[in-house]
A = this chain, B = another copy of it.
């Protein structure tokens, strides 16, 4: 075991795609670690135990967190305040706490409200490694391999806690980046949250137009890629977009303005306007590494 990472016992709160993958990746990189898990879904928890994703299944987050060196909160976003409150009662004095939620400002606010003395050992994290899949059955040990993890430290975050969490992600193959929680939320409104809403919206349009939905077998790879994220969990994403609503709403307003202008150019046959917009978009997209 890495002496910088003295992980004896780790609690995984929420054994879904990300929590389960974290457990698998952690066991692969640190074979001696003992993994305790909890999940509000008893079936998912039993599946995780039966498939050796975790070593011990516990009903309550507070039990799993007790005596852990590291608590990984990987529940749906809306459960985080309650989980912070529950684990605060049993956390040991040296335990590190991380989350893996898709938004960061509200998570930081909930941590401030509920974690008490453990706040300095809480490091907010967002691994950019999800997919349209969810659930522990889709978990993979290599989910974080060469993927970015955005870490949004608080002013109160203790430097050793931050250092240990960075080392932890690196040991799982991830590449760490740091930014402020607000900057994170504005960036991912553009890179992830609003695109999910737009993809859901585009599919919903077909759901109300039978002749379209019946012809999906005639779609190409462009349509399949454009709409892939619309297969994501509706409930998880309703909560994520509500959580980051201000940043997303601002982007949607700009999007509606841009699409309205493109529509007017289209109807006017204004090829120059279309070419200017498509051209700057195409150049930028081709530059994406």
Q: Taking beta carbons and an 8 Å cutoff, which residues of A are in contact with B? A: 128-132, 147-148, 150, 177, 187, 190-192, 195-207, 209, 211-213, 215-235, 237-239, 241-242, 245, 248-249, 251-256, 258-260, 262-263, 266-267, 269, 271, 274-275, 277-289
**In the assembly, what is the distance between CA of A216 and CA of B191, in Å?**
8
Tell whether A284 pairs with B235 under 8 Å between CB atoms, given A218-B148, A271-B242. Answer: no
Q: A277 contacts which chain B residues (CB < 8 A)?
A: 200-201, 204
Tell whether A226 pairs with B229 under 8 Å between CB atoms, given A255-B259, A259-B255, A267-B249. Answer: yes
Contact between A230 and B187 (Cβ–Cβ < 8 Å)? no
Contact between A274 and B241 (Cβ–Cβ < 8 Å)? yes
Contact between A238 and B284 (Cβ–Cβ < 8 Å)? no
**In the assembly, what is the distance between CA of A274 and CA of B213, in Å?**
20
Tell whether A187 pairs with B212 under 8 Å between CB atoms, given A130-B220, A279-B234. Answer: yes
Q: A232 contacts which chain B residues (CB < 8 A)?
A: 282
Contact between A195 and B148 (Cβ–Cβ < 8 Å)? no
A56 CB to closest chain B CB, in angstroms?
A: 31
From B202, B216, B253, B280, A204 is in contact (CB under 8 Å) with B280
A235 CB to closest chain B CB, in angstroms?
A: 6
**In the assembly, what is the distance between CA of A274 and CA of B249, in Å?**
13
Contact between B203 and A284 (Cβ–Cβ < 8 Å)? yes
A29 CB to closest chain B CB, in angstroms?
A: 22
A89 CB to closest chain B CB, in angstroms?
A: 29
From B198, B259, B260, B281, A203 is in contact (CB under 8 Å) with B281
Q: A187 contacts which chain B residues (CB < 8 A)?
A: 211-212, 215, 218
CB nearest to A234 among chain B residues:
B278
Tell whether A260 pairs with B256 under 8 Å between CB atoms, given A195-B226, A226-B225. Answer: yes
CB nearest to A271 among chain B residues:
B238
Q: A238 contacts which chain B residues (CB < 8 A)?
A: 271, 274-275, 278
